[in-house]
Structure 1
Amino acid sequence: MNTRLLTLWQKTDDRGAVRQRLYHVLRQSIIRMVLAPGQALSEKEIADTFDVSRQPVREAFIRLSEAGLVEVRPQRGTYVVRISRQAVLEARFVREAVEVAVAKLAAEQGLDEATLNELRELIERQRRCVDPQDYDRFFQLDEAFHRTLALGVHQQAAWRVTEEVKAQLDRVRYLSVPDSTPIDKLIGQHTRIVDTIARRDVEAAAEAMAVHQREIWQSLPDLVRRFPAMFEDSASATLGAERTTEADL
């Protein structure tokens, strides 16, 4: 575990504040399952791993708690929370609303040629992740794709909202690839989003983005069955109830 944490640490900008670097590394480690659901986190161990004081570690824990990724239990310790299916569905609902609005705006206003070319280049780079099964790289490029689209229509606030809610989704996405959701399927969805925006088809762009954002909902029941220990409510809730919840949304 320490080796993988240090690898992520080395990829961060060493000019940044320690607490921000720690938060980024721990957040990514939780999303990528380096730090597994239910795992206890030690302030001292993490401080020792990165050769920092315990104060920025404590601050990172607080931010992770606010993001719903860890639970700080007084006198007992800090734990990575298990994935809540309800939290995932709620986060997906918010992200779909935001990203569909972005796609519609992009189709209505049109994207400049430079942004369209950048989106297409990102898709080509995603395709190069398929054969080597470079899933970490694919997820980085996937995030760049959605960020580029939002910033392409000058919706920085929309991207910030997406970043806030997508941590819960990203953990499920990491579990879903490649078995539940092959990345070539996601690449095909990205391609359709760009194509519909490029031809200024507002309704088709909105639909393409909605289908893409609902992919998590399609794979969630399979993931709960395959990884029950990673979900906090896998034993008590029924998949049928979740389907009803999604229909109501």
Structure 2
Amino acid sequence: MRQDRDNEAGGEPLDAAGVRAPTDNARRRPVPPAVTGARGRPSLEGVADMPARERAYHELKFRIMEGRLPPGTTLLEAEVANLLGLSRTPVREALIKLEEEGLVDVRPRHGISVRAQSIDDLSDIYDVFSTLEVKAVELAARRGIETNDGRRLSGILDQLERATQREDPVRWSHLDDQFHSELVSLSGNNRLCATLRQYWDQQYRARMAIVHMRPSTAQSDREHRAILQAVVERDIRRAAHLHQQHRDRADRLALELLRRGPA
């Protein structure tokens, strides 16, 4: 189905997961601070100062991941260039990179189509992502973490628990990403963190689709505390076991909610 730039902000349904494109007012709201690391959130910060090729890539990726160019959207290369206010050469290079990341399909002379994700696709992504994140936590426990790092992570968990009490799933989700990103970074393995970021990007749209569908996050809060304690105590086996249980439960819940779709 062809969707033009007017549809991009028209609030039309996106997919079975219930993601919707934001309205013009939503598009004008400031971009929230981005979480960095293995669970980085899309941001347009600094994009205006980038070379044209990088700007095209980051702007398109932001629109796709935030649902402004929903799955199934098809555009000609010239339409994409016009949308971004750039020439076709940097846009073409950006589209090739986005295709390599699995976000779009590029068809010569027919433009691009934003790729949808099936439940099977997401299940495969979760399998890889969770396995790597467990390994990162195991490495963090093996290396040990500084007292200041432990205090900082505990402070994030304090905020998570307050978000649970306030029943604020959006704030909770943001803090959850921050906690996991910072914990993973303490593994000391930059290659592992970079690979996690790649697989995080591939599941980001699905995560945002179920933010408001999640049940109470109190159990996750308890699991986070236990994982952090094991890492602080350098109990490698326990840290890996607890985090594996945490990821298994979270992945099952996410897939269940995605299958169910919006109420």
Q: Same fold (TM over 0.5)?
A: yes
Paired residues of 2:138 and 2:239 also in contact (CA < 8 A): yes
2: CA distance, partners of 1:22 / 1:134: 31
- Which position in structure 1 is the counterpart of 2:151? 117
CA pair 59-121 structure 1, distance change in 2 beyond 3 A: farther
What does residue range 1-249 of structure 1 map to in structure 2 within 5 Å?
1=8, 3=24, 11-13=44-46, 14-127=48-161, 131=166, 133=168, 135=170, 138-180=172-214, 182-214=216-248, 215-226=250-261
- The alpha carbon displacement at 1:127 in A equals 4.7
Counterpart-to-counterpart distance in 2, 1:32 and 1:212: 26
> How many residues are paired up?
226
- Distance in 2, matches of 1:138 and 1:16, equals 32
Identify if the C-alpha distance between structure 1 residues 77 and 46 changes in structure 2 by more than 3 Å, giving closer, same or farther.
closer
Change in Cα spacing, 1:186 to 1:32, as seen in structure 2 (3 Å) is: farther
TM-score by length of 2: 0.72
User: Do 1:95 and 1:213's aligned partners in 2 also have CA atoms closer than 8 Å?
Assistant: no
* 1:89-146 alpha-carbon deviations (Å, 9 max, x no partner): 22222222211111112222211112222322333444565548462x6555444333
- Alignment identity in percent? 27
5+ residue gaps, structure 2, are 1-7, 10-23, 32-41
Once structures 1 and 2 are overlaid, which stretch shifts more, 89-98 or 60-69? 89-98
Q: Matches of 1:43 and 1:104 in 2, distance apart?
A: 45
Residues 26 and 114 from structure 1, CA distance in 2 versus in 1: closer, same or farther, beyond 3 angstroms? farther
- For 2:186, the aligned partner's letter is G
Q: Is there any run of 5+ residues in structure 1 with no aligned partner, and where?
A: 228-249
Pairwise CA RMSD: 2.9
2:21 is aligned to none
Residues 177-232 of structure 1, C-alpha deviations (whole Å, 9 max, x = no match): 121455555444433321221232222211222133221233313312326xxxxx
Question: Which amino acid letter does the alignment assign opposite residue 163 of structure 1?
Answer: R
Distance 1:97 1:10, change over 3 A: closer
1:17-58 deviations in Å (ceiling 9; x for gaps): 333343233323333323222122344444334332232222
The answer to which structure has the higher helix fraction is: 1
Q: Distance in 2 between matches of 1:10 and 1:95?
A: 21
- Structure-2 change in CA distance of 1:189 and 1:70 (3 Å): farther
Q: Distance in 1 between matches of 2:254 and 2:72?
A: 22
Whole-angstrom distance in 1 between the partners of 2:257 and 2:138: 31
Name the structure 2 match of 1:237: none
TM-score computed with the length of structure 1 as normaliser? 0.75
